[in-house]
Structures are given as C-alpha cells and as structure tokens.
Amino acid sequence: MSSPEPNPLRSVYTTSFVEILSQLGISLAISTYQAGRVILLRNDNGRLNTHFRNFHKPMGIALHQNELTVGGANTVWYYRNVPAVAAKAEPQGRHDACYLPRRVHVTGDIDIHEMAYDADGRLWLVNTKFGTLCTLDPDHSFNPVWRPSFVSALAPEDRCHLNGLAMVDGRPRYVTALGETDTAGGWRANKRNGGLLMDVQSGEILLRGLSMPHSPRWVNGQLWVLESGQGSLARVDLANGTWETVAQMPGFTRGLDFVGPLAFIGLSQVRESAVFSGIPLVERLEQAERQCGVWVVNWQTGETLAFLRFEEGVQEIFAVQALPAAFPEMLEWQDPLLMTSYVVPDVALKDVPR
C-alpha cells in the first residue's frame, strides 16, 4: 500500500489499483457532492494521481463518445474531449485526452441524481426532487418524460427518492427508488427495506424490500444493483424476482461502472443521521469502520481486488465513471488554456494558416 498523499483531501490505495488502471488503459471520474469535487483517478507513472476539479455539488456523471456531462446543484455542465488541446495541457505531452467546458444548462434545484445518454445521443437524467425521468431542451428547465405510476403529481417534494437509471439497448429501462410513496419525503419512513427496482417500459415494480438501492446497471445481459443500505453489490434474477448479494463492502455502496470482469464501486462513509439511521450497514459497522473511496471487485467471484480509500476531506461518493483515457485532463472554466483554445468545424481548418 502507498503512503498517504500530502493533501488535505488525502487518500491511500493498494498498488493493485494503479496496476488495474494501467492494464485497462483507463482512468476514473468520480463525483463527491459533499466535498464539491469531480476527481480524476489516473495512473501517473505507477502512482495514483487524484486530480481534483471544483464543482458546486456534483452528482451524476454521463459519458457519450467524446462528451462528458456532470449534473450539479442546479445545472448540467457539458464537456467535450478535444485531443488537440491535450497536447498543450501541462505537463505537455503527458495527456491523452482533454475535456473542455462547452456549455451549461440551468435546471433549477431538482436534485439531479444519475444521468445517461441514449442511443440517439440524448441525455436523460433522474430528477429526484420531482420524481421523474427527464430530458433537456434549450427552452425549459427540464422536460419530464416518465415517472412511477404511484407518484400522482409533478411536485418538488422528493416523494419516492427516484435515484438510479439503467439503460438497455440505448433506452431507459430500469430505475431504483427508496420507497413506493406519494407524499413529500414519504420514503424516509421505511428506508431500511422500502427500496424498489422498476421497469420503465412496463411500469412494473420488479423488486421490493431493497435497502436504499442505487446504481442499477445492465451489463452483458445481466442486471446489477447496489443495495446501498447493506453495503453490497447484487445480481438481479428478473425471472424469479429475486436478488443475490455478490460482494459486501465496508461502506454505503453508490456509484458503479463495469469494465470487463471488474466492477468499480463507490463507497461512502455515511454518518449517524436521520437519513441513514436504522439501515443494516450502520448496524453492521461502527462509524470508524465505514470507508469512503472506490473498491474494485471481480463480479464473477465477488473478490475485492483493489481499493482507493479517502482518509480526510471526502466522506461521500456519488458517481463512478470509467473514462477511455489513461491520463485525461478536465479544464476548469477559469483555466487560461481556454482563452487560446478554439474549436472550429473541420471545413474551416483549410483557412487556418499552418
């Protein structure tokens, strides 16, 4: 294990974590709304580099081709990978991708949770405050498209805590919520095992009795979900309406991405509070035993292969997104490089002097 980084947001990690990133040729983007950061986890010549970017309460992260999108307190930020700029980013010649801010969409405070792109390149987001799946367009704060049938009105009351979204064949298919409730904050009364998994297409509730579920994912014909209140990764049997715990971890599991046989899972410490009191994880682990970071699990065996653990400054993780670049940069809005980075249509390049 490495020595801690000399940073107020310091972390420790297993050497296998860096080796896995290197072998896969990827990096990770994770969001922490509590610390107000998107963090790029990158292999820096055999050491893990934690590259912090400032955001206001970042939550969902979505990737589609060259576009990287982050949902925040009342905005959605759009970034685009511009490889030509990567060569200019410091240290020069080190980066293999560079995400430039392109635009912002103002949603208002809708408590954005997970986001994903469909097959047509359209962004879908979970609007938790209004309990709806929605899309965005230039004229509106959001465009509500679907909500659970038991939620009777489009009201900013967080009635069921809709939170997770799984895409199948490029379309929204499965969602998670913390309760089958239709009153303001009604899900809080039975958060221990009131969670559910729904089929967006049919409107059917497929699973009940989950403990604070998040992050449903459809991978290679198999549905997965994080049963966050248990601190676990679970495999869903749709035919029988059951789920099986594959791995249990020392934290509130939330944020999930798959690369090959590996699951990258976000863990949050969770504090003793009204939101988390009474859930199995809090009963299983004392406060000092609960961890925050990213765990790497072989989903075929349930074995933990590596982890990054934050020691200070970061207590909660929301999203975990694998990026197809080993050492990407993500420019902040005030970065001087943006002043001299111009992205124009290819047809215009013929008029640019060489």
CATH of the domain at 334: 2.120.10.30
**Mode of pairing for the β-strands spanning 123-127 and 27-32:** unpaired
- Would 5 be classed as within a structural domain? no
Q: How far apart are CA 120 and CA 124, in angstroms?
A: 11
Q: How far apart are CA 251 and CA 28, in angstroms?
A: 19
Sign of the torsion angle spanned by Cα atoms 9, 60, 291, 224? negative
Q: Of the candidates 216, 244, 212, which has an alpha carbon nearest to the alpha carbon of residue 231?
A: 212
28 bridge partner residues:
41, 322
* DSSP reduced 3-state for 308: strand
Count: domains in the chain? 1
pTM of the model: 0.95
- Would 114 be classed as within a structural domain? yes
CB-CB contact of 262 with 219 (8 Å): no
- Would 275 be classed as within a structural domain? yes
- Would 295 be classed as within a structural domain? yes
- Would 279 be classed as within a structural domain? yes
From first to last of its 354 residues, the chain has per-residue pLDDT tens of 444 444 467 899 999 999 999 999 999 999 999 999 999 999 999 999 999 999 999 999 999 999 999 999 999 999 999 999 999 999 888 999 999 999 999 999 999 999 999 999 999 999 999 999 999 999 999 999 999 999 999 999 999 999 999 999 999 999 999 999 999 999 999 999 999 999 999 999 999 999 999 999 999 999 999 999 999 999 999 999 999 999 999 999 999 999 999 999 999 998 766 678 889 999 999 888 999 999 999 999 999 999 999 998 999 999 999 999 999 999 999 999 999 898 888 888 888 887
- Would 4 be classed as within a structural domain? no
Q: How far apart are CA 204 and CA 235, in angstroms?
A: 19
* DSSP reduced 3-state for 31: strand
Supply 93's token pair.
């010649």
Q: Which domain holds residue 181?
A: 11-351
